[in-house]
Amino acid sequence: MVWNSRVAKVAPFRVMHLLEMAQAREASGHDVIHLEVGEPDFPSPEPVMAAGQAALAAGQTRYTPAAGLPALREAIAQHYERHFQAKVDPSRILITPGASGALLLASQLLVEAGDRVLMADPNYPCNRHFMALAGAEVDAVPVGRETGWQLDASLIAAHWRPATRLAMLASPSNPTGHTLSAEALQAVQQAVRQREGHLVVDEIYQGLNYDDAPLSALSLSDDAFVVNSFSKYFGMTGWRLGWLVAPEGAVEPLTRLAQNVFLAASTPAQHAALAAFTPECREILEDRRQILKNRRDVLLAGLSKLGLAPDMPPQGAFYLWLDISRYSRDSQAFCEQLLVEENVAITPGIDFAVQGGEQFVRIAFTTDVARLEDAIERIARFVSRL
């Protein structure tokens, strides 16, 4: 059977193999600590669940407009003004089935066969894959401590080619958790603008900031495409709801794409998401952010004794990107062996990095402190045998 050649460019998630192994071990009676999947152990906030239930009880199950429920687009616009001092016209906001829907729309609008896209390496792999499915070639630019694990203006200038059409950033990033300052983000915007390119900013982990204030590219200019989600900060992973903020001139073609690709996002999920912006929900979400910060600090303290803590603590998201080169240069084998010997599930770096992923792993601090402390003890036993 012959498939579309673009599908061959989409690599599998190696962590899914680890997840299957972990689930099999649990089924056979082992106590597995899950630090591999990017989903905290919190349920969706109660105001969100109540709003979703109320929407279903009221029969709110018919299609919304392709760009989303007007009230939700207005609520998101108010959110940007209230928390980021960014005035965003609600007409520029498109509600999508998860952030994946937003990435799909952006990639289909902005690139085609032969175009090139700049991204940091490591990065969330689906960002690369969406661009590849649109026919573009991704130039994964290695980043490290010297650039704050981010794609900065100097790297954009050094790697931009005649066929480059856009640069994509993520702040906070997955898998490293690092952010861009306002100054660095503004410099990137200027570098892309000078080259008459587009800028896509992944702000999916926005709000999950621990050492700096949350920032949006929309506070600095109106010409970026900004992807966001209700999954991470708002704790609504299974509701599958995200959004895309686009420059005014891009709204009409994006709406046409949405009409044809997915018609509209889930109606009950959109009504539930209206409650995410209430003061009651905000209080819950901020309490959870502090819990995640404490989990991060517990992991950093424990892993530093093993020589595994990152030299730059992540400022956001809920991941640690760990250099395991003192113990192994095969992250897949390292993760599988750790799971088999100590029942701790983490993610191999080859899922995220085109270059050098063999010597990194990602740990998600998505379970409680007692389990994290247990995981540290198990990891300590494991590396002591290597």
Task: pLDDT band for 5, please (50, 70, 90 cuts).
Answer: confident
Give ∠ CA 257-258-261 in degrees, rounded to 5: 80
| Band of pLDDT at residue 144, cut at 50, 70 and 90 | very high
Mean pLDDT taken over the chain = 96
Domains detected in the chain:
5-43+281-384 (3.90.1150.10), 46-278 (3.40.640.10)
Kindly state the average pLDDT of the residues 154-175: 97
Average pLDDT over residues 153-182: 97
Predicted TM-score (pTM) of this structure? 0.95
pLDDT in tens, 207-235: 999 998 999 999 999 999 999 999 999 99
Q: For the segment 18-45, what is each residue's pLDDT rounded down to a tens digit?
A: 889 999 999 999 999 999 988 999 999 9
Give the DSSP H or E segment for 129: helix 125-133
Side chain identity at residue 184, one-letter code: A
pLDDT band with cut points at 50, 70 and 90 for residue 105: very high
Quick one: pLDDT at residue 101? 97
| Sheet containing strand 93-96, strands side by side | 93-96, 242-245, 225-229, 198-202, 164-170, 116-121, 137-142
**pLDDT mean over 314-325:** 97
Task: Note whether 378 and 33 are within 8 A (CB).
Answer: yes
Distance, in Å, from the CA atom of 372 to the CA atom of 367, rounded to the nearest integer, reads 7
The residue-averaged pLDDT of 361-370 equals 97
Which residue, 147, 141, 135, 142, is CA-closest to 161?
Answer: 141
Average pLDDT of the segment spanning 369-375: 98
At residue 2, does pLDDT exceed 80? Answer: no
Contact between 236 and 47 (Cβ < 8 Å): no
pLDDT at residue 13, rounded to an integer: 79
Of 45, 57, 99, 124, the residue nearest 285 (C-alpha):
45
Determine the Cα–Cα distance for residues 102 and 250; give it in Å rounded to an integer. 13
- pLDDT grade for 11, boundaries at 50, 70 and 90: confident
DSSP state of 148: T
Q: How confident is the model at residue 322 (pLDDT cuts 50, 70, 90)?
A: very high
Query: Is the model's pLDDT at 202 over the cut of 80?
Result: yes
Classify the C-alpha dihedral 65-67-72-75 as positive or negative.
Answer: negative
**pLDDT computed for residue 115 by the predictor:** 97
CA distances to 7, 191, 364 from 316, rounded to whole Å, are 32, 25, 12
For 12-21, letters b (16+ CB in 10 Å) and e give eebbeebbeb
In the chain, % of residues over pLDDT 70: 99
Question: Is the predicted pLDDT of residue 196 greater than 90, yes or no?
Answer: yes
pLDDT of residue 4: 80
Q: Mean pLDDT over residues 98-113, rounded? A: 97
What's the mean pLDDT in 232-253?
A: 98
Instruction: For tokens 């007007």, name the residue.
Output: 70
Please classify residue 113 by burial: count the beta carbons closer than 10 Å to its beta carbon, then call 0-12 exposed, 13-18 middle and 19+ buried: exposed
